[in-house]
């Protein structure tokens, strides 16, 4: 990309969003990040040139005002779990609101504001009916594809990187307990590095050939959930007992997980794990990006984590 763009981003304070915002700002683009409550992100460093603006993203006219004059809109908003009380849990309404309703409003606001370019985050297996998450992602994709916009859809497998909800989440769980029961331990993933996902968005912004195209984003290695946990423990120097659960007990674990702080697993997560998150057509390769292996990044993900090896090294030094 040779010229500076004005890019409006929804979901820019999340895991992937923080990496993308920083990179686009470093490229010299004018980046606007929309947030319903900017004060809720005091710990999030906003790079120079980035504007964090208060906006109710479900307010159609507010979106129209923010999108006016934008060269591109990026929608990264997504939820892995529903929120609310017992009636809302596992109803699908939370997923529908975050993925389907919001996408519809974004598409309509783009059209009204004259912002023709939309980059939309989705997921591998979008549209599969096994879970509310995947079903709602598919409905959102259908809305985007039916629009007159110059859209690009991205379907990543699980995304890893510093601060992720994969290796870093398991690192916290492993440090808290010597035993980890694990439902759907044989579920398969092709984890994709967040830096590669960011690069895919960057290239799509500068390449008109990516318009009205869908890109599966996945890494070079297929691993099971159990392997992800074991690799995390090994990198941290922890000896932990991993207990794969049969599906009947896995469902019970998911039921209990609905009520635990941080919701480590939910019923909908458990259903999503029934489908392997591996790709078929390599979107990174199509974009000219060489996928980053897990081991090239994994040791750096836990910098600052007080692992067993680090404690032993301090004792030796003393």
Domains of the chain from N-terminus onward: 6-160+192-217+279-291 (3.40.50.720)
Q: State the pLDDT confidence band at 307, using cuts at 50, 70 and 90.
A: very low
Q: State the pLDDT confidence band at 315, using cuts at 50, 70 and 90.
A: very low
- Name the more confident of 149 and 257: 149
- Cβ neighbors of 112 (< 8 A, separation 6 or more) are 64
At residue 192, does pLDDT exceed 80?
yes
Q: State the pLDDT confidence band at 2, using cuts at 50, 70 and 90.
A: low
Reported as half-sphere exposure (CB side, CA atoms, 13 A), residue 187 has a value of 25
- Res 261: pLDDT: 79
In this prediction the pTM is 0.91
At residue 86, does pLDDT exceed 70?
no
- Cβ neighbors of 211 (< 8 A, separation 6 or more) are 117, 150, 151, 152
């Amino acid at each position: 990309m040779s010229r500076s763009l004005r890019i409006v981003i929804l979901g820019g304070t999340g895991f992937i969003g923080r990496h993308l915002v920083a990179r686009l700002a470093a490229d010299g683009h004018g980046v606007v990040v929309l947030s319903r409550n900017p004060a809720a992100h005091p710990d999030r460093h906003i790079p120079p040139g980035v504007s964090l603006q208060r906006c109710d993203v479900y307010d159609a006219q507010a979106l129209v005002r923010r999108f006016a004059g934008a060269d591109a809109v990026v929608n990264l908003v997504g939820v892995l779990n529903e929120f609310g009380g017992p009636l809302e849990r596992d109803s699908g309404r939370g997923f529908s609101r975050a993925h389907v309703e919001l996408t519809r409003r974004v598409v309509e606001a783009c059209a009204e504001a004259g912002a023709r370019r939309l980059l939309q985050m989705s997921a591998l297996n979008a549209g599969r009916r096994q879970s509310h998450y995947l079903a709602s992602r598919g409905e959102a994709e259908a809305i985007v594809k039916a629009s007159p916009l110059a859209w690009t859809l991205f379907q990543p497998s699980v995304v890893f990187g510093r601060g992720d909800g994969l290796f870093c989440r398991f690192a916290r769980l492993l440090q808290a307990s010597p035993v980890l029961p694990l439902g759907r331990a044989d579920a398969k993933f092709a984890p994709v590095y967040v830096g590669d996902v960011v690069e895919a968005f960057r290239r799509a912004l500068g390449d008109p050939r990516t318009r009205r195209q869908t890109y599966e984003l996945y890494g070079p290695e297929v691993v099971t959930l159990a392997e992800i946990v074991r690799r995390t423990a090994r990198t941290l120097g922890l000896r932990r007992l991993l207990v794969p659960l049969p599906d009947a007990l896995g469902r019970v674990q998911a039921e209990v997980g609905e009520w635990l702080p941080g919701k480590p697993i939910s019923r909908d997560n458990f259903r999503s794990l029934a489908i392997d998150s591996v790709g078929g057509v390599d979107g990174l390769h199509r974009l000219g990006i060489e996928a980053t292996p897990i081991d090239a990044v994994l040791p750096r993900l836990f910098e600052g984590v007080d692992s067993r090896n680090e404690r032993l090294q301090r004792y030796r030094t003393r």
